Amino acid sequence: MKSVMEWFSHVLLIITIVYIFLFGLIWFYEPVRALASGFLLGGLISLYNVFHLAFRLKIAGLRAQSGARKLAGLHMTVRILMIVFGVLIVYRFSTRIDYRSFVLSLLFGYLMLVTVMSYYYLRGKGSTSSEEGGEIYGSDSESEISRNDL
């Protein structure tokens, strides 16, 4: 069974490809070129941020699992600097890239993240599999950690 991380990366990759293809096609239509450029730039930065967040979360989880002394962080500065980079590009090429569509599309990745993950859990794929340990958060059965411990 695919883990949630693999599944999420796979779905997000497909969404990214569709997004690039869609706005790449729109970009060829001259009257809305600036708009499409804004959507492309903002959307790709947003999707990169989501990928980065998932990757850092995975690394941090693996470090915590391995019991390493030095824990990994989420590296939020990288994501903020990525947005600053996008804004600087919009500022430099303000006639070619529409800033409104850029700012609007910065939300795309996060909305997609919430939608995709909610879909995952609503479809029932989020239930704990046997390889994840069967029960979580303690229960009345023979789990080592009881609810009182949490």
Q: Which residues bind another protein (CB under 8 A)?
A: 3-5, 8, 46, 49-50, 53-54, 57-58, 60-61, 64-65, 71, 74, 76, 79-80, 83-84, 86-87, 90-91, 94, 99, 102-103, 106-107, 110-111, 113-114, 117-118, 120-121, 126, 128-129, 132-133, 136-137, 145, 149-150
Q: How far, in Å, CA of 39 to CA of 62, rounded?
A: 34
Q: How far, in Å, CA of 112 to CA of 119, rounded?
A: 10
56: left (phi over 0), alpha (psi -120 to 50) or beta: alpha
Q: Cβ of residue 14: shortest distance to another protein, in angstroms?
A: 17
Q: Cβ of residue 28: shortest distance to another protein, in angstroms?
A: 26
The angle formed by the CA atoms of residues 136, 49 and 11, to the nearest 5 degrees, is: 60
Nearer to another protein, 25 or 64 (CB): 64
Nearer to another protein, 24 or 61 (CB): 61
Q: Cβ of residue 49: shortest distance to another protein, in angstroms?
A: 7
Nearer to another protein, 21 or 121 (CB): 121
- Are residues 105 and 113 in contact, defined by beta-carbon separation less than 8 angstroms? no
Q: Cβ of residue 30: shortest distance to another protein, in angstroms?
A: 23
Nearer to another protein, 29 or 129 (CB): 129
Q: Cβ of residue 5: shortest distance to another protein, in angstroms?
A: 6
Nearer to another protein, 25 or 129 (CB): 129
